Amino acid sequence: MDKRVTLDQQAAIKQEVSIVIPVYNSGQSISELISRLVATLAGRGLSFEIILVDDCSGDDSRAVIGELAARDDRIILLALDHNAGQQAAIKTGLCRSKGRWVVTIDDDLEQQPEDIPVLLDTITAGFDVVYGIPDRSGYPFYRQLGSNLVDLFFTLILKKPKNIRVGSFRVLSREVVDRIIKDQTAFVYITAITLRFTKNIGNVAVAYQPRRYGKSNYTVKKLSLLLVRLFYYYGVNSGHYFTNRETDKITDKGRK
């Protein structure tokens, strides 16, 4: 990557940053995640908000976030009344976000909050979106396979640049976020929507740590269903927009 970060670009990052986190049964990890996020962002002198979207967790995630939010008004809890899925939960958080730059990060501590400054530094070099890409050598085989198949779909069908990789750890510009919010495709998949609007995408290397708590909900069955839905909504029906009442309901809730 040959785009250099100037002092003016670094200054631009001082504008507000929104962190959006979809949460599901992460009561054991969420306190540490938030603590590390606050330390990282405050340490850089950034103005920020942390939006946690609880996707109807069955553990104490909601209570833990509520307690933290009561002590720090930069922490915002959005509580869904039914399990909407990770992608719809992220979209809910995007709808609520206000930042010039919006970061999405998972709740399981596999992605490291300390890598967020690298994402921010890179996007101010002129990209619309920057993905943090980990070394996948530590991934289980089925997760590597799933990532490769989804990546192939994005490359062949949505014309993602071949040298660019995608994932759930990313920073998006406000302009891209606003376009994602307006999208009404019934099946929400943030990267697929993003690729409709821009190919101006960057990558940076980030760290990966195996999860310490709980277990992944990723299964071969879910991967198969995901690929079918991606092909139907973003392949066969690419360019057509469907209204999903559930997604609209979630989006409206997130704006309140």
Domain ranges of the chain: 7-255
Burial state string for 29-44 with b = 16 or more CB within 10 A and e = fewer than 16: bbeebbeebbebbeeb
pLDDT at 247 (0 to 100): 37
Reported pTM:
0.86
Q: Note the pLDDT of residue 15.
A: 52
Q: For residue 153, which amino acid is it?
A: F
Task: Tell me how far apart the 2 most distant CA atoms of the chain are, in Å.
Answer: 48
- 7-255 folds as Spore Coat Polysaccharide Biosynthesis Protein SpsA; Chain A (3.90.550)
CA–CA separation, 172 vs 90, rounded Å?
A: 12
Percent of residues in the chain assigned helix, strand, coil, to nearest 5: 45, 15, 40
Predicted pLDDT at 223: 86
CB-based contacts of 152, cutoff 8 Å, min separation 6: none
pLDDT-flagged residues of the chain (< 70): 1-15, 137-140, 142, 216-218, 238-256
